[in-house]
């Protein structure tokens, strides 16, 4: 199984001279199973450069798994060139929208309203299908299995566990670990803490045995104190999570768009140090920052 990162920023694209090393596109990850089946995780602006490469590999059969429908995870979808070319097949997977009551099929309908985009869906000549997913129910893509798990974000957000011939990865999309909203002295603290621990335990159990964790690491622990409830994780929190799961590799992604590459690398180094991380230490995962063009082979 191969993994390639095409977009690694969160919230909004951040192009420019200060983001060249890690990249300025928003979330998009290409996964190739052992039989070369194409799985695309999210359709941020990073899906456009992926599309340009795929033009050399026609016809394309692609399964796009959307973690959630915030703009930075879908804004590149209308620019996925393969949607316009006859002979291509694109299946778009995602969650049920609890506000509209609609499935993932509404994603293109909303994006392609004439006020926002000049091309209508009927002008897209590929074979386009939609599949609204159910929590915990696996989907087969070639020789791989993709299982959606509900995570914590202000809208429905699926993390995806992908397994292929004994190897596995998990991508969080956007995820804020559950926290107790009560102070320790409050009456509801103990009951709520029990709920937090149950949710964390259930997710950890569902991720048992994964090799690679790709996690939303938008903030530092210090920054998080003013951003509780925004739906994002921290570098330090994900290091602790990777240790708890016993993964081989942690890839920190969804980089804060206001950070330059230099600043990103500085806060990353500080998080490793404050976490007591020892590279190559017994039981330690390998911890890296995602960057556009980075490839993993499992």
DSSP string computed for 70-102: SHHHHTTGGG-GGGGSTT-EEEEEE---TTT--
Beta 212-216 vs 249-253: how paired, if at all?
A: parallel
Give the pLDDT confidence score for residue 119 in this predicted structure. 87
Task: Show Cβ contacts of residue 236 under 8 Å, excluding neighbours closer than 6 positions.
Answer: 220, 221, 271, 274, 275
Split at pLDDT 50, 70, 90, the class of 107 is: confident
Split at pLDDT 50, 70, 90, the class of 200 is: very high
Give the pLDDT confidence score for residue 102 in this predicted structure. 85
Q: What is the mean pLDDT of residues 209-227?
A: 96
Split at pLDDT 50, 70, 90, the class of 170 is: very high
Q: What is the DSSP letter of 248?
A: S
Sketch the domain layout of the chain as residue ranges.
2-290
Split at pLDDT 50, 70, 90, the class of 159 is: very high
Split at pLDDT 50, 70, 90, the class of 19 is: very high
> Beta-strand (E) ranges in the chain?
2-7, 28-32, 38-41, 61-65, 89-94, 127-132, 139-141, 144-150, 158-164, 167-171, 212-216, 249-253, 286-289, 295-297
Q: What is the mean pLDDT of residues 187-209?
A: 93
The chain-wide mean pLDDT, for the chain, equals 95
Give the pLDDT confidence score for residue 202 in this predicted structure. 95
Residue 273 has pLDDT above 90, yes or no: yes
Task: Report which of 63, 33, 28 is spatially closest to residue 44, judged by C-alpha positions.
Answer: 28
Split at pLDDT 50, 70, 90, the class of 245 is: very high
Give the pLDDT confidence score for residue 280 in this predicted structure. 87
Give the pLDDT confidence score for residue 282 in this predicted structure. 87
**Portion of the chain with pLDDT greater than 70, in percent:** 100
Task: Show Cβ contacts of residue 154 under 8 Å, excluding neighbours closer than 6 positions.
Answer: 229, 230, 231
Residue 99 has pLDDT above 80, yes or no: no
pLDDT in tens, 22-39: 999 999 999 999 999 999
CA gap 8, 179 in Å, rounded: 25
Give the pLDDT confidence score for residue 51 in this predicted structure. 98
- The pair of structure tokens assigned to 84 is 């316009």
Residue 123 has pLDDT above 90, yes or no: no
CA gap 38, 34 in Å, rounded: 10
Split at pLDDT 50, 70, 90, the class of 222 is: very high
59 cis-preceded (ω within 30 degrees of 0): yes
Give the pLDDT confidence score for residue 138 in this predicted structure. 97
H helical segments located in 176-228:
189-206, 221-224
Q: What is the mean pLDDT of residues 39-66?
A: 97
266 three-state secondary structure: helix
The hierarchical CATH code for the domain 2-290 is 3.60.15.10
């Amino acid at each position: 199984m191969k993994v390639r990162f095409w977009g690694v920023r969160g919230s909004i694209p951040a192009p420019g001279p200060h983001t060249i090393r890690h990249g300025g596109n928003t979330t998009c990850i290409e996964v190739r199973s052992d039989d070369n089946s194409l799985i695309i995780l999210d359709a941020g602006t990073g899906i456009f450069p992926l599309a340009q490469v795929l033009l050399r590999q026609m016809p394309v059969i692609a399964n796009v798994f959307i973690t959630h429908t915030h703009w930075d995870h879908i804004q590149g979808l209308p620019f996925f060139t393969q949607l316009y070319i006859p002979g291509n097949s694109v299946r778009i997977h995602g969650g049920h929208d609890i506000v509209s009551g609609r499935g993932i099929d509404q994603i293109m309908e909303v994006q392609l309203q004439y006020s926002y985009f000049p091309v209508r869906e009927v002008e897209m000549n590929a074979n386009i299908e939609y599949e609204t997913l159910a929590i915990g129910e696996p989907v087969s893509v070639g020789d791989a299995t993709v299982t959606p798990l509900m995570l914590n974000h202000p809208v429905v957000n699926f993390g995806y566990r992908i397994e292929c011939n004994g190897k596995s990865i998990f991508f969080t999309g956007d995820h804020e670990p559950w926290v107790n909203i009560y102070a320790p002295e409050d009456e509801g603290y103990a009951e709520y803490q029990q709920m937090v621990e149950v949710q964390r335990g259930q997710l950890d159990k569902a991720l048992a045995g994964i090799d690679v964790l790709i996690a939303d690491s938008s903030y530092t622990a210090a920054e998080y104190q003013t951003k509780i409830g925004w739906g994002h994780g921290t570098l330090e929190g994900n290091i602790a999570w990777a240790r708890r799961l016993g993964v081989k590799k942690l890839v920190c992604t969804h980089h804060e768009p206001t950070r330059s590459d230099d600043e990103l690398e500085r806060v990353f180094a500080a998080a490793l140090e404050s976490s007591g991380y020892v590279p190559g230490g017994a039981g330690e995962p390998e911890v890296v920052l995602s960057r556009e063009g980075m490839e993993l082979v499992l």
